[in-house]
Amino acid sequence: MSKDILQREKKYNKWILVLSITIPLVVAALFGVNLRDLGFDVKPLTFLPPIYASINALTAVILVLAFLAIKNKKIALHESLMKTAIGCSVIFLILYVAYHMTSDSTKFGGEGVIKYVYYFVLITHILLSIVIIPFVLITFVRALAGNFERHKKIARITFPLWLYVATSGVIVYLMISPYYT
């Protein structure tokens, strides 16, 4: 591995660290802010959950297509799909925060075993959605830097985690959607 590749990769490390810490903190802070409670005259954006759940589903499909593209040595297609998956994740995050800043949280109404399944999926989804941020950023930077051996190594971890986050987000939505008011 050349020094040039490592230097290109290293120059992004501060950004990876800053974004990996800042994104979850900002989302958590904004999640607790309701604009209506602060006196803003905004309507609840109750139409957003099916949209951002669909974006999660689309992200999952794109990730699988990107995986198949790289397995078939279609590098340009893989790169385009991965950039699209990152874009979808950013759009999801914006819509998710917008919904929670304008709407009251929905309580899950299921009982029995399904309640435990829901909370297991929800908690693992939330925790892994935080964990996945540095993995996606590191994987992406390694590809940008041309460090494809190290890119492949971490992508083997990033792909299943990101796929789980995207699909579990859809599952959480489907499980809670009957309780939206």
Domain 3-179 sits in CATH at: 1.20.120
Query: What single string gives the DSSP state of each residue in 18-78?
Result: HHHHHHHHHHHHHHT--TTTTT------TTHHHHHHHHHHHHHHHHHHHHHHHHTT-HHHH
Closest CA to 124 of 177, 70, 169, 178: 169
Banded model confidence at residue 62, pLDDT cuts 50, 70, 90:
very high
- Average of pLDDT values for 90-100? 94
Residues 34, 54: Cα–Cα separation, whole Å: 24
What global pTM score does this model have?
0.91
Banded model confidence at residue 176, pLDDT cuts 50, 70, 90:
very high
- Which tens digits make up the pLDDT trace of 120-133? 999 999 999 999 99
Cβ(65)–Cβ(129) under 8 Å? Answer: no
SS3 118: helix
Tokens of 155: 């992508």
Banded model confidence at residue 1, pLDDT cuts 50, 70, 90:
low
Per-residue model confidence (pLDDT) at position 55: 98
Q: Where are the domains of the chain?
A: 3-179
